[in-house]
Amino acid sequence: MIAAKVRPARSRGGYRAGRVSLGWIATFCLPALVLYGMFVVVPLVTAFSYGLFRWEGIRPAEFAGLGNYQEVLTRYPLNEEIPAALWHNLLFFAGTMAIQNTVGLGLAVLLYRNPRGKRLFQTVFSLPYLISPLIVGYIWSLLLSPTFGPINFLLRTAGLDAWARPWLGDPDTALPVLILVNAWQWIGGPMLIFLAALGGIPRELEEAAAMDGASKFRAFWSVRFPLLMPAVGVITVLTFIGCFNLFDLVYALGGSDGGPSGAMDVLGLLYYRTAFEGGTNSIGESSALAIMIFVVVFGVSVALERFLRRREVRM
Amino acid sequence: MSRPESGGRVPGFAAHALLWCYAALAVGPLILVVIGSFRSNADILRQPVGLPDSLGFDNYLRAWQTASISTYFANSIMVTVAAVALCVAVSAMAAYALSRWRFRGRALLAAFFLSGLMIPAKLGLLPVFYMFQSMGLIDTRPGLVLLYAAGGVPFSIFVIMGFVRGLPTELEEAARLDGANEGRLFVSVALPLMRPALAVVTVFQFAPTWNDFFYPLVLMRSDSKYTVPVGLTRFFGEFATDRATLFAGLVIAIAPLVLVFALATKQIIAGLTAGMSR
């Protein structure tokens, strides 16, 4: 994915072998290697083994093979919570692609065509990007609160009393509000990526199409859009991964139970509850759950990347 | 929103009107929070939207002192600065070695570091938890620093390697002929040239580290060591009815990032598109 884009080193960039001693190589590489190995790689590898044991508190009691996986998928209430949470994650992904990324593309195209004030708009649109999702959640929970929130107040003032509602307390609106709040925060990302991609496309291509008599619309869809496909691919994969990492925002908007009757429950929250609010075998079960989530996300990301790249080549 | 393409060109003023509309949507909520932070709680409960009567900092004082946001703030600054410094230091050295020197296993080592870009480090949370327990690092700030620094290594090495490869080697060759050793070459010649990449990485590690909520939620126990995000969950529980103070607390929590953003927009945009060039 991203790593694959690193170009192989040009030969002129390196010195010949043998000129740098092993001591220097160790001095330069070991600190990063130890830090990264100890606190990222080892825990990740260990996490895989945790799921294979039945645990009693913090002691592994017996080897369970895939027992934990079976347990997690069949035992009540997890067997109902997992599909529900997964469904919310998928709805969230679809909603985010439909709203955040299309609006992001629209803003990028507008800015590309009207570069006056581009820098200012870029900055303003990406401002929420920097704020922690947790804080974004708290900000919106205050703004959307049923009686004293400014949003409902403004709706009532505008005579739209019927629209004023407990946005986050109503199972019907909670998830859509979550998608919108999330899009509000991240829209700067797709916008900047699309803007960079648009800037990288030579104008001559579209001009040539125009000379051949293509309409503006056709020039965009047939010439420019296909060249944006790499950007679309990157954004789709990033959005997908981001959707499954969802935790802080939902925690702030709906607590660790996922809002009104679990309407915003997602896999991240479910994992947290299983790991830290679960029973005696919580380590085994939550590790199995984490690994299933990881395999799905990683597998789908790789497949998406492959699929999009193949389309790119064809176009 | 991509309708502009269908009917030919959108006139400039219409496009700008749209852009301004979205700008209002992006900033409006933040402005509501800032205004709210200057109003009294009674005012807010009576009328949720309105201007402050006077420009007082009572709410800020209450959030800073009574709600101990000052403590959380100091913890966040310590943890973030230490973690980013550690991460950038070790990553710069490794990235330099990996992109400048040829040695056995170089490609493998680079791939090992970069594979971290694709795997969510949070998956290892439980093992980290028990490892920390055996090392006495639970509920300590150094523990958080190590975790954040380690988590930032793949992205930092990725960005710095890409940058170093594009640097000319002549200066280093010249210094080498003058008898400088590898350490000296790195510190005196390469590091100054690497500054733009180091800036991008610093800015890019700062925000996620400052914002992180999951690790301290699980690993920190005592109130006095909370960073801002976990501190806020406590703060929101305690001051649930005091909206004015909540607004002020949120502004304090956001301020450092707005400052970083204002100072480093260029680096941020460069970092966001780091994977996109070519």
Q: How confident is the model at residue B204 (pLDDT cuts 50, 70, 90)?
A: confident
- CATH number for the domain spanning A195: value is 1.10.3720.10
Check residue B101 and report its DSSP letter: B
For residues B217 and B65, what is the distance between their CA atoms, to the nearest angstrom? 22
Could you tell me what percent of chain B has a pLDDT over 70? 91
In a domain, A306, yes or no: yes
Q: What's the pLDDT at B270?
A: 66
In a domain, A269, yes or no: yes
Confirm or reject contact between A184 and chain B (CB < 8 A). yes
Could you tell me what percent of chain B has a pLDDT over 90? 43
More confident residue, A314 or B239: B239
Confirm or reject contact between B31 and chain A (CB < 8 A). no
DSSP structure string for A145-160: -TTT-HHHHHHHHTT-
Residue A315 pLDDT more than 70? no
Q: Are A51 and A288 in contact (CB under 8 A)?
A: yes
Question: How confident is the model over A108-119, as a mean pLDDT?
Answer: 87
Q: How confident is the model at residue A313 (pLDDT cuts 50, 70, 90)?
A: low
ipTM field: 0.84
Q: What's the pLDDT at B97?
A: 94
B 32-61 residues with CB < 8 A to A: 32-33, 36, 44-45, 47-49
Chain B residues touching residue A197 (CB < 8 angstroms): 276
More confident residue, A123 or A182: A182
Sign of CA dihedral A190, A191, A195, A196: negative
Residue A12 pLDDT more than 50? no
Question: How confident is the model over A87-101, as a mean pLDDT?
Answer: 93
Please give the tally of structural domains in chain A.
1
Partner residue opposite A139 with nearest CB, options B29, B101, B214:
B29
In a domain, A299, yes or no: yes
3-state secondary structure of A280: coil
Residue B123 pLDDT more than 50? yes
For residues A206 and A214, what is the distance between their CA atoms, to the nearest angstrom? 9
More confident residue, B265 or B256: B256
Which tokens go with A92? 């969230």
Question: How confident is the model over B144-162, as a mean pLDDT?
Answer: 93
Nearest C-alpha of chain B: how many angstroms from A313? 15
Contact B161 A6 (CB under 8 A): yes
Q: Among all residues of chain A, which has the CA nearest to that of B153?
A: A36
In a domain, A113, yes or no: yes
Contact B153 A231 (CB under 8 A): no
Q: What's the pLDDT at B145?
A: 97
Nearest CA to B96 among B173, B171, B185, B180? Answer: B185
Q: Which of B3, B9, B16, B19 to mutate to test the interface with A (most CBs of A within 10 A)?
A: B19
Range of A158-167, A174-183, B10-19, B63-72 with top mean pLDDT = A174-183
Cα B67 → chain centroid = 24
Q: Are B119 and A298 in contact (CB under 8 A)?
A: yes
Partner residue opposite A142 with nearest CB, options B103, B243, B269:
B243
Chain A residues touching residue B109 (CB < 8 angstroms): 29, 33
Which tokens go with A279? 């029973």
Fold of B68-272: MetI-like fold (1.10.3720)
Q: What is the mean pLDDT of chain B?
A: 86
Contact A35 B44 (CB under 8 A): no
Range of A237-241, A308-312, B85-89, B262-266 with top mean pLDDT = B85-89
Domain with CATH 1.10.3720.10 in chain B: 68-272
Which tokens go with B59? 């709410």
Q: What's the pLDDT at A88?
A: 94
In a domain, A160, yes or no: no
Sign of CA dihedral B149, B150, B155, B159: positive
In a domain, A127, yes or no: yes
Q: How confident is the model at residue B142 (pLDDT cuts 50, 70, 90)?
A: very high
Residue B276 pLDDT more than 80? no
Q: What is the mean pLDDT of chain A?
A: 84
In a domain, A271, yes or no: yes
Quickly tell me which residue has 């109130």 as its tokens. Answer: B223
Q: Which of B213, B235, B278 to mutate to test the interface with A (most CBs of A within 10 A)?
A: B213
Quickly tell me which residue has 């919310």 as its tokens. Answer: A88
In a domain, A20, yes or no: no
Q: What's the pLDDT at B10?
A: 61
Contact B29 A196 (CB under 8 A): no
- The H helix count followed by the E strand count for chain A is 16, 2
What distance separates the 2 farthest-apart alpha carbons in chain B? 76
Residue A18 pLDDT more than 60? no
For residues A260 and A144, what is the distance between their CA atoms, to the nearest angstrom? 15
For residues A8 and A151, what is the distance between their CA atoms, to the nearest angstrom? 53
pLDDT digit string (tens) for B62-88?
A: 889 888 889 999 999 999 999 999 999
Residue A8 pLDDT more than 60? no
Full residue range of the structural domain in which residue A83 is found = 76-134+172-314
Q: What's the pLDDT at A55?
A: 86
Residue A312 pLDDT more than 60? yes
More confident residue, B69 or A13: B69
Question: How confident is the model over A294-313, as a mean pLDDT?
Answer: 82
Chain A residues touching residue B82 (CB < 8 angstroms): none
Amino acid at site A65? G
CA triple B191-B192-B197, angle to 5 deg: 75
